[in-house]
Amino acid sequence: MQRLLFPLLLLGSGAHAQQTSVLFIGNSYTSTNDLPATFRELALSLGDTVHVGISAPGGFTLAEHVGYGPTNDAIGSRPWDHVVLQEQSQWGALVVEQATTTASAAVQLCQTIEANYECTYPVFYMTWGHENGDALNCGNFPSVCTYEGMQSNLREGYLQLATYNDGYVAPVGMAWKAVRDAHPFIDLYQADGSHPTVAGTYLAACVFYCTLFQQPCDGASFASTLPPDTASILRQIASTTVLDSADQWNLDVPNGTSAFWDLVAFTPNTLTLAQQGQGSSYWMVSNGDTSTSAQPTFVFLESGWYTITHIYSDPCGNVDTLTSPPFEVIITDVSEEGGIVPYDVHPCGGSCLEIRGIRGGERFVLSDPRGRVIRAEALTGERTSFSTPPGIYLWTISDRAGRRWNGRIGLW
């Protein structure tokens, strides 16, 4: 994918005194000590206004949030500027160890978020390792047996999730490690060695401020219930952790939808596409055809090789472009010699082809537009299906009486 232009809409790039809205989706790591309210008060003390929302039942995983009505209602309640996604503390550390449901749940939630408002930034809440590692999963995953190993996994796992979903990372866990290393007298953990104290929640709020506003929070007057000196240390570490490595946390990633498109329909000489998102499109075909439709249909009058370029301008002010690989169009006449076709030959998802209405004894032949046979077999049962590489194909079905039906099908 080629990117033409991405004007960065960084919240911290303009004059101070800003407004934003943030929905927090997580569990008790988010709800303990009311992280959203702590973040809001911190921002207010710096002159910024924040509207916050929360959906954080205790122990919830991101997979549980996918089908959770209150979470979906919260996402749809307004056009959020940011939606924070926090995985259950142990699951987040296993993203790099095994194929968990975390990755697919993150994708589904990001799709829901974008469907509600295309310009919302997903923000992945990198949590912290348990004080003495994860004893429950240590036997199967030795890397999480210690705090250091668990924290390393959390860092890499959340970076993977954010990179794949074009989101920010709020590196709370890395700020947490910096406090542990340099100021061990500041107790960030409750007695369970997992949940945050007021200091831990305040540190998280500081990291979120620096991540979302892309400004240091050193000058905040709000200190929650902490001693001023302690609050000052936490603010400084949060500011340094986020802003000294902003590119590591994907803070230069633009929001909005890319120029990817959906394939709606095609025949050997027509192609119908659809843009993703609510912005505007400009399409260019290498034969000279153009369109500004959200769902254009292009007609090819001559066989040949073609490319299609899609330039998409999203509602957030970003512009992206995507050019297809060269594809071949071969104009082929197809006839149906046996009258009304008694068979249903259709795609069944991906590169799957299904045939219905089989009586038994028919012969099926699939060939490419040049007549080269791809598949030939006798048909049995009432229906059959098989996989075929993507492309445009011609098919022939002959029955025992010698009647023959021809058709064409596209698999994508």
- How confident is the model over 48-62, as pLDDT tens digits? 999 999 999 999 999
Q: How far apart are CA 375 and CA 368, in angstroms?
A: 10
pLDDT value at position 401?
79
Top-confidence range, 8-17, 171-180, 402-411: 171-180
Q: How far apart are CA 131 and CA 146, in angstroms?
A: 8
Q: Binning pLDDT at 50, 70 and 90, where does residue 350 land?
A: low
Mean pLDDT on 100-120? 92
Q: Which residues of 58-95 are buried (b: 16+ CB within 10 A; e: fewer)?
A: eebbbbebbeeeebbebbeeeebbbbbbbbbbbbbbbb
Q: In what order do the strands lie in the sheet with 280-285?
A: 2-5, 319-323, 308-313, 280-285, 290-291
pLDDT value at position 332?
57
> For residue 258, how far is the Cα from the chain centroid?
11
Domains along the sequence of the chain with CATH:
2-249 (3.40.50.1110), 261-329 (2.60.40.10), 344-411 (2.60.40.3580)
pLDDT value at position 5?
29
Q: What does pTM read for this prediction?
A: 0.70
Q: What share of the chain is helix, strand, coil (3-state, %, to 5)?
A: 30, 30, 45
pLDDT value at position 370?
67
How, if at all, do strands 82-85 and 19-25 pair? parallel
Question: Poorest-confidence range of 15-19, 186-190, 246-250, 333-337?
Answer: 333-337
Question: Poorest-confidence range of 4-13, 72-81, 133-142?
Answer: 4-13
pLDDT value at position 7?
28
Look at 392 and 284; give whichever has higher pLDDT: 284
Tell me what percent of the residues of the chain surpass a pLDDT of 90: 60
